[in-house]
A and B are shown apart, each in its own frame.
Chain A
Amino acid sequence: MNRDVYVIGVGMHRFSKDFIPKRDLYFTAGMDALKDAGVKFRDVGALYNGYIGGGMTEGIGFAKDLGLTGVPVTHVENASATGSTAFREAVWAVSGGQTDVAMALGYDDMRMMGNPIARPPSGKKRLPSMENIMLPAGFFAMWAQRRMHENGTTVETFAKVAAKNWNHGRHNPMAQRRADHVVTAEEVLAADMVAYPHTAMMACASGAGAACAIVATGEWAKKHANGRPMIKVLASQAQSEHYSDGHIFMGAVVGPSYSTEITGKLAYEEAGVGPKDLSFVHVHDAFPIEELMYYELLGICGPGEGDRLINDGDTAIGGRIPFSPDGGLIARGHPGGPTGLAQVWDATRQLRGEQGKFQVEGARTGLVHMMGAGSICVVHILQRA
């Protein structure tokens, strides 16, 4: 990066299964972040809106509620990695000198997204597209099934990953799923089956929400620290697919898992830190197989050792390297556009020591990772300066 970049403010609208007007989601998260940063909307020199399900330039309409300042607005869509990509654009806008203060704001409702439609040769009927054959749940379930075949991973291990994240989300006021009791692996296994071997309690929470992050130069960060630690962006990396044998080109969620390995390595290199330096990690844990695989692909443990990590409690809060301390996609939720920015919200507050009952003690460096449709991986590393 050409200039150092810091996260100076974060905000959220709680993720929820309620149907909430998008305009309200947007405004709440935006105002929350501006207040947290201690800046005015007129200070923002670039705005990146992230959403998957909305209409043409919908976000610029909602931005009018924050003010008509002439700020350049760009709309970003990268499937689940939309919020992460909006954040990356904001980081680069500051790093590249385009502006001193930039905002990334993601919002969505996963339940209100459309599907591609094809027109048949006769033109008589609207038909589902040939490319639209597979639910993401099916893709991840087949990934899990293959893992069980090759490594002997059990459904109990998947259930432990999900139970851990449900329990992490219990104390997060922004989480969609806040269980009123300690969730057990047995309870997760007893839930309705969604796509074997994944049950409904292993699937990410699908709902509405918004999240926002404001990034700025060191000068702005120092001026607006207000006695809090400054949070520096050490690395910002993204990679789309590289070819590998067995590459799948067709479907709603495709792409090789090792995209995470490649992007993670680039981020470690840029940040000058390694997996052992991390205090916590956020990943695209739409289903437990993903989190399990990312333990290995991000270098937290060796190949085939992920099961041991979850079984030993290493990735729970209080363990060696907590994953998804805010509940992750499974408990905090996954509306789509804002999900990657919700990770930044938690990472920033974890590094400031502000997360109360779900605080990772002594957190100094955090990694946030998202996959978009399996085809784009975005990784950021943040550190308390």
Chain B
Amino acid sequence: MPKMAPLEEGYMVIPEKPGEPCQLLGSYSKAAKKSFFPIRKLCPITSEPVETVKLSPEGVLYSWSFIQMPKMGSRQKVEGGGYGVGQIDLPEGVRIQAPIDGKMGDWKIGMKMRLAPNPVVTDEDGTQYCGFKFIPVKEN
């Protein structure tokens, strides 16, 4: 398995051992009793200090779309005709925007979604630099 690293530090934890969940890093404000993503310097409601926390790797799809135009910073058409994007509500009350796996017809508001690393670029030493995405969870 290739080595994976976040595109930027401070957003997510990619576990080295397979099977462990990838998790986003957020902030928790004791004063406001609320969580935020990404990490805040201070609580945006009370301006009190916050602590860094790992957020739940699973959430619920709040909304979605399928984009059929070039990705940010590119003029090239996307392979496969497009890509999914979604807003996912985590149990901590945090809403995340991210690419989502799948194709038109795969997504339904309210469905369960799971966080995963999203390789963007492979470096010369083989390291895959990753953003994050969500994958629909198949329910039995």
Contacts and interface: CB of A to CB of B under 8 A. Distances in A.
**A and B, one complex?**
yes
Interface of A: 115, 118, 120-122, 124-125, 127-130, 132-135, 137-139, 141-146, 149, 192-197, 243, 245-252, 254
A193 B6 contact: no
A125 B85 CA distance: 26
Contact of A133 (B93, B99, B109): B99
B73 A128 contact: yes
Interface stretch (B15-23, B36-44, B50-58): B36-44
Contacts of B62: 146, 246
Contacts of A141: 65, 67, 85
A127 B120 contact: yes
The 5 closest A-B pairs by CB, nearest first: A141-B65, A115-B73, A142-B63, A146-B63, A246-B95
A120 B7 contact: yes
Interface of B: 5-9, 11, 36-38, 40, 44-45, 62-69, 71-73, 85-87, 89, 93, 95-99, 104, 109, 120-121, 123-125, 127, 129, 131
A139 B124 CA distance: 34
B70 to A, nearest CB: 9
26 contacts: A118-B7, A120-B123, A120-B129, A121-B5, A122-B125, A127-B121, A129-B7, A132-B72, A134-B72, A135-B67, A137-B67, A142-B97, A146-B62, A146-B109, A149-B63, A193-B68, A194-B68, A194-B69, A195-B68, A196-B65, A196-B66, A196-B68, A196-B104, A245-B93, A247-B95, A250-B37
Nearest to A140: B65
Nearest to A250: B38
B97 A125 contact: no
A379 B97 CA distance: 27
Nearest to B133: A133
Given A196-B104, A246-B95, A248-B95, A134 B121 contact: no
A149 B109 contact: yes
Nearest to B110: A149
Contacts of B40: 249
A111 B64 CA distance: 26
A128 B63 contact: no
A197 B64 CA distance: 10
A129 B66 CA distance: 21
Nearest to B36: A249
Contact of A195 (B69, B72, B73): B69
B127 A122 contact: yes
Nearest to A134: B97
A121 B69 CA distance: 30
Contacts of A138: 65, 67, 85, 97
Contact of B97 (A115, A118, A121, A139): A139
Given A120-B7, A249-B38, A195 B97 contact: no
